[in-house]
């Protein structure tokens, strides 16, 4: 289960096979994990216990016949990228929490003293609380106590100290919108964007997994077709050999029958190679809890091709809901926040501060409050040319126009992809029906030719020709089945409706 790496202590390689007889038996398949885990024996034992006991629990839900829905549900719940996509929500919550931190109340304190040759020149002490609000007004409360022989007269306060309570507000730039409010809005947009990005990742993952599934199903069907052809060719070869031994057929027919068997075996080996490669590609999507890689058991099969539904696609229930469009629209919202913030930068800066003052010795502060005891201030600033601010605003508006054009282009492209996929899916329905009739007709021709051959009224060449036509028709039928199902996946992926019906509550609505 484990081997030592050259640069690291331990490299974990674990895999299991999907089956019900026996369910998910441990089967080694190298799959590189973490580059360096830990050389401690305890870690090895814990990983070994996880690998040995996690698989039988999951095997209860895996049938011997693996359907598309079962596969996609397994991928959506256990693939590492699907598990990683869940972390997007945690990241969005962290970003939103960080943005809300801009409105957290803040305690502050400041102490400054000077002593020289035994004389206290000054002692300045101040502490207080500042409370930002969503409306751009900052509330504050402070206590100040100063003293000293050379104290600056403007810092003189009563011996018991001085209380101050008031507010500061921007009457120009920042009154209706500022950097803190912009960051909070961006965080909320990002939270919605991470939900759309997560859904987009799952959609892409399920589309790829579904495509590999139907390629595997088609390859398995081709193996069945060639296996049946080999069995028939071998039976015919045995009959020809017996007839040639009795003198009923020329000996040269045995050579032709043997060549036929060999050609069928070549086709079977090629089909097995395609099936093995398709299974290997599908195995890349099979995981348990995003940690343990799984493998298809050799006995695991897709549904019988005759049971696969080949029918016109149902109309889209909600139109285009592709997460890529949602991300572009959210990008527009983010740029609109930037535009609003930069419009504020064009306004002059006018900040007003006011604090009511109350002596620290007051027993009842509200009763001792006087409107004549206060301190206030006002500050003003304004750029004369505003070139920097106007340049930023112009760039933002250019980006807005570009993003709007990008959104229009994406909508057009996705509509085209949806229409193309629907056309392909609907056309393959009629083609599949024709291919099914061809298979039936070729089967009847082949059966009649075999009867004539057994009666001595036909040749191996004609029987071989009928079999080749029947095999080609069967393979064409499988090809059309795969093409139709992949077209349905492509339509749903372009429309953005791959994940929700399969994942259910896993997809967040943020």
* pLDDT, tens only, 188-232: 999 999 888 888 989 999 999 999 999 999 999 999 999 999 998
Quick one: pLDDT at residue 365?
63
- CA torsion sign for 192, 194, 200, 206 is negative
Concatenated DSSP letters for 133-197? -TTSEEEEEEEEEEE-TT--GGG---TT-EEEEEEEEESSTTSS--HHHHHHHHHHHHHHHHHHH
Please state the rounded mean pLDDT for residues 125-137. 90
- Are residues 172 and 349 in contact, defined by beta-carbon separation less than 8 angstroms? yes
CA dist 355 and 352 (Å) reads: 10
Residue with structure tokens 């997460």? 323
pLDDT tens, position by position, 261-286: 999 999 999 999 999 999 999 999 99
CA dist 481 and 304 (Å) reads: 11
CA dist 165 and 81 (Å) reads: 53
Backbone angles phi, psi at 173, to 5 degrees: -65, 125
Quick one: pLDDT at residue 279?
93
CA dist 198 and 87 (Å) reads: 9
Residue 408 has pLDDT above 90, yes or no: yes
Residue 64 has pLDDT above 90, yes or no: no
Quick one: pLDDT at residue 83?
81
Neighbours of 402 (CB within 10 A): 11
- CA torsion sign for 24, 25, 26, 30 is negative
The model's confidence at residue 9, banded by pLDDT at 50, 70 and 90, is: very low
Q: What does the H/E/C string look like for 342-391?
A: HHHHCCCEEEEEEEEEEECCCCCHHHHCCCCCEEEEEEEECCCCCHHHHH
Instruction: Compute the mean pLDDT over every residue in the chain, rounded to the nearest whole number.
Output: 83
Quick one: pLDDT at residue 256?
86
Quick one: pLDDT at residue 477?
95
pLDDT tens, position by position, 291-349: 888 888 888 899 999 889 898 988 887 778 899 999 999 999 999 999 999 999 999 99
Of the chain, the percentage scoring pLDDT greater than 70 comes to: 84
Q: Cβ-count burial of 110 within 10 angstroms (0-12 exposed, 13-18 middle, 19+ buried)? A: exposed
Give me Rg for the CA atoms of the chain. 38
Quick one: pLDDT at residue 337?
95
Domain boundaries, the chain: 1-60, 106-173+347-385, 189-330+400-506
Q: What does the H/E/C string look like for 257-311?
A: HHHHHHHHHHHHHHHHHHHHHHHHHHHCCCEECCCEEEEECCCCECCCHHHCCCC
189-330+400-506: which CATH architecture?
A: Up-down Bundle (1.20)
Phi/psi zone of residue 136: left (φ > 0), alpha (ψ -120 to 50 degrees), beta?
left
CA dist 218 and 161 (Å) reads: 87
């Amino acid at each position: 289960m484990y081997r030592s790496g050259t640069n690291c202590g331990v490299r974990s390689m674990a895999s299991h096979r999907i089956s019900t007889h026996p369910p998910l038996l441990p089967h080694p398949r190298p799959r590189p994990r973490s580059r360096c885990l830990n050389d401690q024996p305890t870690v090895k034992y814990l990983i070994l216990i996880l690998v040995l006991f996690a698989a039988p629990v999951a095997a209860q839900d895996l049938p011997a016949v693996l359907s598309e829905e079962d596969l996609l549900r397994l991928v959506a719940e256990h693939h590492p990228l699907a598990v990683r996509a869940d972390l997007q929500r945690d990241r969005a919550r962290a970003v939103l929490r960080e943005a809300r931190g801009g409105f957290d109340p803040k305690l502050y304190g400041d102490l400054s003293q000077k002593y020289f040759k035994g004389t206290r020149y000054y002692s300045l002490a101040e502490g207080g609380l500042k409370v930002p609000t969503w409306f751009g007004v900052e509330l504050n409360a402070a206590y100040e106590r100063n003293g000293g022989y050379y104290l600056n007269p403007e810092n003189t306060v009563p011996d018991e100290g001085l209380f101050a309570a008031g507010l500061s507000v921007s009457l120009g730039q920042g009154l209706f919108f500022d950097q803190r409010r912009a960051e909070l809005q961006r965080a909320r947009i990002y939270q919605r964007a991470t939900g759309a990005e997560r859904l987009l990742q799952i959609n892409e993952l399920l589309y790829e997994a579904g495509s590999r599934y139907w390629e595997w199903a088609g390859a398995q069907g081709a193996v069945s077709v060639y296996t049946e052809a080999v069995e028939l060719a071998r039976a015919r070869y045995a009959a020809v050999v017996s007839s040639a031994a009795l003198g009923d057929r020329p000996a040269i027919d045995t050579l032709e029958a043997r060549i036929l068997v060999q050609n069928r075996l070549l086709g079977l080996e090629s089909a097995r190679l395609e099936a093995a490669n398709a299974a290997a590609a599908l195995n890349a999507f099979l995981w348990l809890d995003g940690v343990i890689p799984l493998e298809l058991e050799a006995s695991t099969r897709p549904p019988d091709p005759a049971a696969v539904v080949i029918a016109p696609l149902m109309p889209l229930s909600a139109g285009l809901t592709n997460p890529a469009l949602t991300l572009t629209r959210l990008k527009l919202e983010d740029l609109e926040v930037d535009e609003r913030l930069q419009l504020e930068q064009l306004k002059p800066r006018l900040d007003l501060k006011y604090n009511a003052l109350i002596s620290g010795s007051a027993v009842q502060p509200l009763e001792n409050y006087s409107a004549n005891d206060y301190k206030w201030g006002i500050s003003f600033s304004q750029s004369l040319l505003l070139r920097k601010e106007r340049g930023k605003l112009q760039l933002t508006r250019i980006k807005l126009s570009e993003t709007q054009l990008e959104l229009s282009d994406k909508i057009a492209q996705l509509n085209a992809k949806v229409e193309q996929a629907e056309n392909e899916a609907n056309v393959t329905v009629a083609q599949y029906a024709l291919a099914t009739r061809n298979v039936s007709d070729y089967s009847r021709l082949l059966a009649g030719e075999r009867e004539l051959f057994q009666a001595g009224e036909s040749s191996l060449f004609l029987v071989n020709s009928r079999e080749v036509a029947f095999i080609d028709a069967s393979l064409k039928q499988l090809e059309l089945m795969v093409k139709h199902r992949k077209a349905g996946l492509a339509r749903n992926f372009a429309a953005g409706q791959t994940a929700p019906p399969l994942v259910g509550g896993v997809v967040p609505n943020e």
